Amino acid sequence: MLKEIVGGVCAPQGFRANGVHCGIRKNKIKKDLALIVADKRCAAAGVYTTNLVKGAPILVTQKNLADGHARAVIVNSGNANTCNEGGVEIAEGMCRLVEEYTGVPAGDVIVASTGVIGQKLSLDPIASGMKSLASGLGGAAEHSGAAAEAIMTTDTVKKEIAFEFELGGKTCRIGAICKGVGMICPNMATLLMFVTTDAAISPAMLARALKEDVKDSLNMLSVDRDTSTNDTFCAMASGLAGNPEIVAEGEDYDKFRAALHAVTSAMCRKLARDGEGATKLIECRVKGAKTAEDARIAAKAVINSSLLKAAMFGCDANWGRVLCALGYSGANLDVDRIAVCFRSAAGELPVCEKGRGIDFSEELAKKVLSEETVYIDIDLNDGGFGATAWGCDLTYDYVKINGDYRT
């Protein structure tokens, strides 16, 4: 039984966090450096961007996680440390600073950066902020919140969550912080997500859980069809809950997967709702597909459609754009079986049956699509598989934000 609790990454046993302003950002009221430290060495795993252009921190993190263990996470915002001369050396330097100020070996540090690509980054502001960052580490909810704030770029709200669940008769906890509201496209995006848990799970099974989960969580999230260079999704498991270590498939692994997915799917909703310039969250639910992959492909195509996203902004029930996206998606489907319904807190609006339009009230359509969360329910009526994808509307503000992002 999952129970949502407070505390973010500090909710599980054995984790402390903090976030400070060190000077990477010119705005002194914005935190720009975050740190998470575990009391003991943890099983750890990560999933990263599929972009061939990768931020230097990813290369260092992949090297540090090669043995399946880590004990700390350091993240800066305001500069992506990507396509940057000496980028790897800077990322490694951040890891050494963690060792200097916390005692955690540099090789046990996950490092990440987010912000503008191609701008020089100096270690000087990071070094100057380390004393305050490390001395302020704590295990309270506000410490997780400080870390969540420090990794934000164009995010308008911090994003964190935590759940409590049981494994092997022991109470376990899992928590996360994340950021990302632009350059978000299926197969990871400009998002950073860091998960902590006190459940005992082997590095191999933790890595497997992350790779399996992203298929139906982070890879089903889209804001603008741009896959970033710095996407990093990492997890650390301290094992301090005392449950029998998960080393193979079984009931406990399934329960852990469910808890992990509760975290990642909740974060997908938070990320999509806060998409750059967005006014509403769009959740596309596909059922009746021939295969799970067909369902995923169909749902992602709808969420990715710029025309559909613009229609949602204008509260226009232009369901033809849904059918259009399904038609070019590449999913194996029969157009003559498709049914579509728009739904929100204001009611339900069936608009298509058997691939053909049906009469509906434009007045009701306006009410349904004016809500902050809009669901697009699609039944392919051709099988037993389903999938969910998350996105947002496309607004004038998206262009404004990205028109002067660098300057």
Residue-range definition of the domain harbouring residue 317: 281-403
Which amino acid type is present at position 32?
A: D
**Six-digit token pair at 75?**
């993240």
Report pLDDT for 188.
55
Report pLDDT for 227.
66
Report pLDDT for 166.
98
User: Do 81 and 43 reside in the same domain of the chain?
Assistant: yes
**CATH number of the domain that residue 115 is part of:** 3.60.70.12
Other residues' Cβ atoms within 10 Å of the Cβ of residue 379: 18
- Using DSSP bridges, classify how beta strands 109-114 and 69-77 pair: parallel, antiparallel or unpaired: parallel
User: Do 231 and 358 reside in the same domain of the chain?
Assistant: no
User: Do 78 and 32 reside in the same domain of the chain?
Assistant: yes
**Cα dihedral across residues 120, 182, 152, 230: positive or negative:** negative
User: Which residues are identified as catalytic?
Assistant: 190
**Six-digit token pair at 90?**
């800077």
User: Do 85 and 48 reside in the same domain of the chain?
Assistant: yes
Round to whole Å and give the CA distance between 309 and 393. Answer: 4
Instruction: List pLDDT tens digits, range 101-134.
Output: 999 999 999 999 998 888 899 999 999 999 999 9
User: Do 138 and 161 reside in the same domain of the chain?
Assistant: yes
Instruction: List pLDDT tens digits, range 270-289.
Output: 988 887 778 999 999 999 99
**Cα dihedral across residues 212, 218, 224, 229: positive or negative:** negative
User: Do 180 and 245 reside in the same domain of the chain?
Assistant: yes
User: Do 220 and 258 reside in the same domain of the chain?
Assistant: yes
User: Do 256 and 367 reside in the same domain of the chain?
Assistant: no
Boundary-marking domain end, from 273, 308, 343: 273
User: Do 262 and 305 reside in the same domain of the chain?
Assistant: no
Boundary-marking domain end, from 273, 302, 320: 273
Round to whole Å and give the CA distance between 389 and 2. Answer: 22
Per-residue burial over 177-215, b if 16 or more Cβ lie within 10 Å, else e, is: bbbbbbbbbbbbbbbbbbbbbbbbbbbebbbbbbeebbe
User: Do 144 and 290 reside in the same domain of the chain?
Assistant: no
Report pLDDT for 405.
61
Angle at 244 between CA 203 and CA 138, to 5 degrees: 70
> What's the pTM?
0.91
**Six-digit token pair at 290?**
């021939």
**CATH number of the domain that residue 331 is part of:** 3.10.20.340
User: Do 379 and 268 reside in the same domain of the chain?
Assistant: no
User: Do 305 and 259 reside in the same domain of the chain?
Assistant: no
Boundary-marking domain end, from 222, 247, 273: 273
How many structural domains is the chain composed of? 2
Tell me which residues of the chain have a pLDDT lower than 70.
Answer: 181-190, 224-228, 401, 405-407
